[in-house]
Amino acid sequence: MTLKIAIDGPAGSGKTTTARLVAKRLGLLPVDTGAMYRAVAYECIRRGINVNDRKAVEKLMDSISIDQRLINDEIHTYLNGEDVSRKIRTPEVNKVVSIVSSYKKVREKLVEIQRKIAEEKDVVIEGRDIGTVVLKNADLKIYMKASIEERAKRRLKELREQGVNITFEEVLNELKKRDEMDSKRELAPLKIPEGAIVIDTTNKTIEEQVEEIIKEVKNKIHT
């Protein structure tokens, strides 16, 4: 049988790492849709495009291609053939990714790419509109959440490991802004998909998150 797993949730809820590990356990392809939107945001910054200029950002979509590959169990994101996986994980990109994600043409092009990947392979796709827009008919829908304080701790650790000098309060405020933008945007807002299983990861380890999803997959297969 084919298997399409959709994982949604806010920033810092543990989606990316958990999706990658679930995919590895099940022999599926992990897809990080958030990284695709980050790549667009990064390209805007690199080209000096004002992210609040919707027409300029949407025009940019005609000249970029985005792809993902799994290398040594890590998802690598390619922008026009360049591996930008590390370059898109910066505070500068964090601040503007929700803005570019709200534009119709940006979402249309990336959703098209994401659906094409899912048509060709069995996948674990994670993001903010997977169960609601990209894969409405996914075999299993998961919504991951965690307290904003816990999510800020996780994001701070990630940024510090990259050598970024930033405070907990700055990360927390940035997450609050992003949550508001993601949940209130007019196009494909972040919300719990219909029929999704909600997992609160606040006090769960990555291993516990993975095991819980694997258990749900097995229940799905045997029902």
The pLDDT tens digits for 7-42 are: 999 989 999 899 999 999 999 999 999 999 999 999
- Residue 1, pLDDT > 70, answer no
State residue 187's pLDDT score.
86
pLDDT tens digits, 38-52: 999 999 999 999 999
Name residue 162's amino acid.
Q
Q: Average pLDDT of the chain? A: 94
- Contact predicate 11/116, CB 8 Å: no
Give the tokens for residue 59. 């025009």
State residue 223's pLDDT score.
62
Using alpha carbons, list the distances in angstroms from residue 120 to 2, 113, 115, 189. 10, 11, 9, 26
Give the tokens for residue 201. 């990861």
- Residue 170, pLDDT > 70, answer yes
State residue 214's pLDDT score.
96
> What angle (nearest 5°) sits at the alpha carbon of residue 150, between those of residues 36 and 174?
55
Among 221, 223, 214, smallest CA distance to 25 is for 214
Among 89, 168, 182, 91, smallest CA distance to 128 is for 182
H runs (alpha helix) in the chain: 15-26, 33-47, 54-60, 91-101, 104-120, 148-161, 168-184, 206-221
* DSSP secondary structure string for all residues of 202-223: TT--HHHHHHHHHHHHHHHHT-
Query: What class is the 4-203 domain?
Result: alpha beta
